[in-house]
Amino acid sequence: MKTFLFCVLVLLVILIGAYLYRVLRGPTIFDRVLGLNGISTKAIILLIVIGLYFDRVDMFIDISTGYALLNSVGALAVAKYLEQKGLS
Amino acid sequence: MIFPFEIPLLLLLLVTAAGAILVKDLMSSVLLLGTYSFFLSLIWAWFGAVDVAFVEAVVGAGLGTVLFLLTLFGTAPKDTRLRRPPPSLVTLIVFPLLGVLMLYAASDLPGFGDPNSPASTHISPTYIERSYQDTHTPNVVTSVLMDYRSLDTMVETVVIFTAGIACALLLRRESK
């Protein structure tokens, strides 16, 4: 079971790398925002898998919930910014 | 465990840090800094420092990004592209030397989780043994923060509260 969870962790990190390429290279700001949102969805899962790996899911679910909530606030802030400043 | 999982995490951290410095646009830099804090919080979580990871995820990745965006909102012109001069010769010489010095110093530190390191022999056993009888709190970290070092924590809260008020005053919209 540990080996399986570890493989899941490594796979998720590789997936995050794919998103990160889009965040780093993305020609427009929208590519970057989408990449960031993709990274945060993977991140929530990654935190919970780390929690399973260490048998401490209860605390890690708190972190991932807090992260998910604040991430939606961040996405709203980005949307508001782009609305005010116009598209770049 | 097949190989140390912190290596890919550290690699992602380095890539995002370099990207945040090198990217040509202020807005993208802010987004990359959010990613950077998130990977930092993953590293804390992997090392078992769950509370630090929580603070880093909430404050660094969530609140920090929003505050940076609010600042950009209030100050930046429409075109947020950066034009930075190339680094000077002194920077190119001094900073790699500083990095080498820090790596050299880090090689003297005790290993992670070493039971004979000063941090885990000096005062930690006392906290672990006595904190429940002293404070009747099941969580050792909470008992250290809120009981043994309560004055310290109170003044820290004052500092954070002041910083929050200052941010609110700086970022408030002008009412017309």
Tens of pLDDT, residue by residue over B64-103, are 888 888 887 777 666 667 777 777 888 889 999 999 999 9
Model pLDDT for residues A30-83, shown as the tens digit of each residue: 888 888 888 888 888 888 888 888 888 888 888 888 888 888 887 887 887 777
Tokens of A86: 């116009």
The CATH number linked to A53 is: 1.10.287
In chain B, positions 28-47, which contact chain A (CB-CB < 8 Å)?
Answer: 28, 31-32, 34-35, 38, 41-42, 45-46
Model pLDDT for residues B1-30, shown as the tens digit of each residue: 556 777 888 888 888 898 888 887 888 888
Together in a domain, B8 and B61: yes
Q: Choose one of B83, B100, B124: the last residue of a domain.
A: B83
Cβ distance B5 to A60 less than 8 Å, yes or no, reads: no
CA B46 to chain CA centroid, nearest Å: 15
Cβ distance B27 to A70 less than 8 Å, yes or no, reads: no
Residues A44 and B41 sit within 8 Å (Cβ to Cβ)? no
Q: Choose one of B41, B67, B83: the last residue of a domain.
A: B83
**Cross-strand partners of B81:** B25
Nearest to B50 among A36, A63, A70 (CB): A63
Together in a domain, B3 and B78: yes
User: In terms of residue numbers, what domain contains B139?
Assistant: 116-176
Residues B26 and B83 sit within 8 Å (Cβ to Cβ)? no
Together in a domain, B63 and B9: yes
The answer to whether position B134 is within a domain reads: yes
Count Cβ atoms below 10 Å from residue B20 Cβ, excluding itself. 18
The answer to whether position B102 is within a domain reads: no
Confidence of residue B175 (pLDDT cuts 50, 70, 90): low
Of residues B115 and B105, more confidently modeled: B105
Model pLDDT for residues B122-153, shown as the tens digit of each residue: 878 888 888 888 888 888 888 888 888 889 99
Contacts of B35 in chain A (CB under 8 A): 20, 23, 36, 39
The answer to whether position B96 is within a domain reads: no
Tell me how many domains chain B contains.
2
The per-residue pLDDT for B155 is 94
Nearest partner of B5 among A48, A61, A8, A23, judged by Cα: A8
Together in a domain, B77 and B4: yes
pTM of the model: 0.79
- Whether B25 and chain A come into contact, CB under 8 Å, resolves to yes
The answer to whether position B11 is within a domain reads: yes
Tell me how many domains chain A contains.
1
Contacts of A19 in chain B (CB under 8 A): none
The answer to whether position B38 is within a domain reads: yes
The per-residue pLDDT for B100 is 94
User: In terms of residue numbers, what domain contains A11?
Assistant: 2-85
Together in a domain, B79 and B145: no
- Whether A49 and chain B come into contact, CB under 8 Å, resolves to no
How many contacts (CB atoms, under 8 Å) link A and B?
113
Query: ∠ at Cα A73 (B175, A25), nearest 5°?
Result: 110
Cβ distance A77 to B69 less than 8 Å, yes or no, reads: yes
Together in a domain, B45 and B1: yes
The answer to whether position B173 is within a domain reads: yes
